A and B are shown apart, each in its own frame.
Chain A
Amino acid sequence: MIELRNLSKRYGDVVAVDDLTFDVRPGVVTGFLGPNGAGKSTTMRMILGLDRPTSGAVTINGRDYRTSRAPLHEVGALLDGKAVDKGRSARNHLLALGATVGVGARRVDELLDTVGLTEVAHKPAGSFSLGMGQRLGIATALLADPSIVMLDEPVNGLDPDGILWVRSFLRSLAAEGRTVFLSSHLMSEMELTADHLVIVGRGRLIRDVSMADFIASAWSDKVRVVSPDSPALAGLLAAPGVTVTPSSPTELEIEGVPAADIGDLAARHGLPLHELVPLHPSLEEAFMELTRESVQYHGRTDGALLSADAAR
């Protein structure tokens, strides 16, 4: 259990984390979601006691982490897979950190096997790819059988197989009753992993919501229909509570009528349908809608730079 209460962090004039209050509970995977620069990593550093909050407080299992008597057993964290000494082997890296709480060679070798690094266990960590670094970071997080596992962008740099593995692995950790907290800036990563979402933007809490509720709130019953007789179909569908929007001469977007009823109606009147598609907005779209206001770095898509160049 991680509890944040009015947690804020200010660097000079920049507010990185602004009055965050939420709990991360055991037994579920909690996704910490927000655009780049939303304060996710800063928050995680404060949870670990690495950065001191400007105001507010955070506790781990009800206590200040700095007073923990078995730190790595309480929280195992992956902040940055590349943050290892390049000259030290993966195995020795794990042995050194594990030694602080009495983790020995046997457990380290098991973990290397778990994350698939046994073959390169004695290679210097500096020679690792990004994905291998992430695996080593995950092994580091699991060193002392922690009750809380906290991972910052864990699938960053992993191949599809590795991503799949991390997902099922995190789910199994949560199923064992552990607290699993992972950050990402991609909703697609959370869709299949997280049970609960904490969404932040510009350091502020935007949503603290269960995945089920988030999906329900993002739901819409829009249906797209393509038919050569779309005006006729539009006339048949007109009713109170139903919105019909022609999006092209042959295409309609219909809200308020289930797709099956539209199909039945068209069949009864002999109207040909070329497409009948229920439109569920992706969670990614719903997430982007929520955080649009707080995205720090917008890319330009208007091609101004190109046209300016062309005009010259």
Chain B
Amino acid sequence: MSAVLPHPDLAHVPPTTTPEMTDPTMTTSPDTTYRITTPRVVRAEWIKLRTLRSTWTMLLSVLLTIVGIGAIAAATATGAVEGPADGGGPGGGDALSTVLAGSMLAVVLVGVLGVLVGAREYSSGLIRSSLAAVPARLPVLWAKVVAFLGAVVPVVLSGVLVAFVVGMAILDGGGVTTVSWSDEGTARVVLGTAAYVIGIGLIGLALGLLLRSTAGAISALLAGVLVLPTLAGALLPDAWDGLLKYFPSNAASAFTSVLPADSLLSSETGALVFAAWIVVGLIAAAVALTRRDA
């Protein structure tokens, strides 16, 4: 870089608001100008999130995935687009799961975004500056959660709603049986799917803070949270179903399916169990964040 520097005397620019500069000791308790507050910490985390290009790429991908795959799945179901030879198509049959088929990929994207919010600062070392700026530490976790939700909730929610409207229109145009918003269970499944996608993102965020490694947390999320329960369900004897239904993805299936399978929990219990996983994850992250050396 060019070596032209301001002269030191000129270089020291006093801050724009300097009531405390008249205090010669500089060690008295700070005035309110530079007071730390929870809204300010949330704002800091929001700036961190919005100033990374990857955030916007991910959010756009999530929106396109939910809407696009839903539309393609719907078109396939009408026969307008040629599907696989077995005729099954994505979504597995009923109109709602067809138009929401994109959520299966979106959940991975949102989960990864959550991991990045939690773990990214550890790979760069920025976390030390962040925790030195917020030495109480816990506000950083809540601020990350709020900023993450602020970015993800509008995208996922509008995604599933648009996917529902567009997908049903395509199905209707192709003469396939559709469901309407007022039909029993429709709102639960559509909003439940959004909640599932967002919830997995929060679990990813917690895993990121716990494991402090992007790669490690993504592996844990994909393998442990999303794939393992399905794999275990396929491999283990039915006797294990009583345990497997409490896994996050299975608990979520209970409120994201129109007619939950008998091996699953009820919608209400499933929602509670899924919420409990999120809470447990965030509490573990909070303990790790406050107890461990940064």
Name A's B-contacting residues (CB within 8 A). Answer: 1, 26, 45, 48-52, 61-62, 65-75, 77, 79-80, 82-89, 92, 95-103, 106-107, 110-111, 113-114, 116, 119-120, 129, 131-132, 140, 144-145, 147, 159, 161-162, 165, 168-169, 172-173, 176-179
Contacts and interface: CB of A to CB of B under 8 A. Distances in A.
A101 B124 contact: no
Given A70-B35, A101-B35, A145-B20, A95 B47 contact: yes
5 contacts: A71-B135, A83-B124, A102-B37, A169-B11, A172-B12
A159 B135 CA distance: 33
Contacts of A172: 8-9, 12
Contacts of A89: 51
Contacts of A129: 1
A62 B29 CA distance: 10
A144 B17 CA distance: 10
A118 to B, nearest CB: 10
B51 A111 contact: no
A169 B31 CA distance: 25
Interface residues of B, number: 57
Contacts of A84: 124-126, 129
A89 B47 CA distance: 11
B41 A100 contact: yes
Contact of B40 (A61, A101, A162, A178): A101
A71 B136 CA distance: 9
A98 B44 CA distance: 7
Given A66-B136, A96-B48, A102-B37, 13 more contacts: A45-B294, A69-B35, A70-B31, A71-B133, A72-B133, A82-B125, A84-B124, A85-B52, A89-B51, A99-B44, A119-B1, A144-B15, A177-B26
Contacts of B26: 26, 147, 176-179
B84 interface: no
B130 A116 contact: no
B30 A87 contact: no
Given A83-B129, A88-B51, A176-B26, A99 B136 contact: no
Chain B interface, DSSP helix/strand/loop, else mixed: loop
Contacts of B9: 172
A94 to B, nearest CB: 10
- Most chain B beta carbons < 10 A, residue from A1, A162, A169: A169
B242 interface: no
Nearest to B140: A100
A122 B14 CA distance: 23
B225 to A, nearest CB: 26
Nearest to B28: A61
B35 A165 contact: no
Smallest CB-CB A-B distances: 6 pairs? A83-B125, A73-B34, A70-B30, A168-B8, A99-B44, A92-B51
Nearest to A99: B44
A50 B29 contact: no
Nearest to A64: B135
A113 B24 CA distance: 26
B4 interface: yes
A71 B126 CA distance: 16
A102 B27 contact: no
B135 A65 contact: yes
B145 to A, nearest CB: 16
A114 B13 contact: yes
A87 B54 CA distance: 9
A51 B121 CA distance: 17
B279 interface: no
Contacts of A65: 135
Contacts of A111: 13
A74 B121 CA distance: 23
Given A69-B36, A101-B40, A116 B4 contact: yes
A97 B130 contact: yes
B134 A85 contact: no
B43 interface: yes
B132 interface: yes
A88 B30 contact: no
